[in-house]
Structure 1
Amino acid sequence: MANHNSSRHTIILLQNSPSRATRTFMDYDSIGQAMDGICGLYERKLKEINPSLRNISYDIADLYNFIDGLADLSALVYDHSISAYLPYDRQWIKQKAFHHLKRIANGGR
């Protein structure tokens, strides 16, 4: 269904450090894919920090700390009803990431 939250085009805007040169964006077909992308960023960072570990695990508090540690993070999510993108802040992203990971942990996608 095109209007379902999980199937809405999502652009993640992020800035890793105070330097404006670190501004970038990531483009996804759905909110769920965007949350996978944010988790993937964190997982890659963990692998960089711990290159000798084969399996890396983390909890939601660790992910929240990563998100809070970014200089800036927001999302633009396409709303079909108004044919425009709506902005969302890092708190919204944290909430969506939590629900996304919870759904995955419970065997859903």
Structure 2
Amino acid sequence: MSHTILLMQPTARHDSRSWTDFESLTECIEGVCQIFEENLKKLNPDSASITYDVQNLFDFIDRLADLSCLVWLILIYILLIA
């Protein structure tokens, strides 16, 4: 497990900044996908189902003013001499 903090700023406005913490990098990536899907629902409120591909997700990320992940990694090195 590598605790991860997602820092996101959707627009150029400083008050749009937010952060969310996750127990792992995988959960963080899933969180970004969920934010993207929620954004799609807001843009298409009358659609019963919405389809997208990975390029749509990449375009969404590219349009964000800022997106950063802080990942806590603990590396343990053990040297055994016999």
| TM bucket, shorter chain | 0.7 to 0.9
| Superposed counterparts of 1:28-107, under 5 Å | 28-81=22-75
Asked if 1:23 is matched to 2:27, the reply is no
Deviation at 1:60, TM superposition (A): 0.7
Q: TM-score, normalised by structure 2?
A: 0.87
Q: C-alpha offsets along residues 6-42 of structure 1, whole Å, 9 cap, x if unaligned? A: x211111010100111111111001111011100001
SS in 2 for 1:81: coil
Q: CA RMSD in A?
A: 1.2
Could you tell me which amino acid in structure 2 is paired with residue 35 of structure 1? I
Could you tell me which amino acid in structure 2 is paired with residue 72 of structure 1? D
SS in 2 for 1:53: coil
Higher helix share: 1
SS in 1 for 2:45: coil
Q: C-alpha offsets along residues 25-79 of structure 1, whole Å, 9 cap, x if unaligned? A: 1110011110111000010000001011122221111000000000000100001
Alpha-carbon distance in structure 1 between the residues aligned to 2:35 and 2:72: 22
Structure 1's unaligned 5+ residue stretches are: 1-6, 83-109
- Percentage identity across aligned positions? 39
Q: TM-score, normalised by structure 1?
A: 0.67
- Aligned partner (choices 4, 15, 20) of residue 10 of structure 1: 4
SS in 1 for 2:61: helix
Could you tell me which amino acid in structure 2 is paired with residue 58 of structure 1? Y
SS in 1 for 2:52: coil
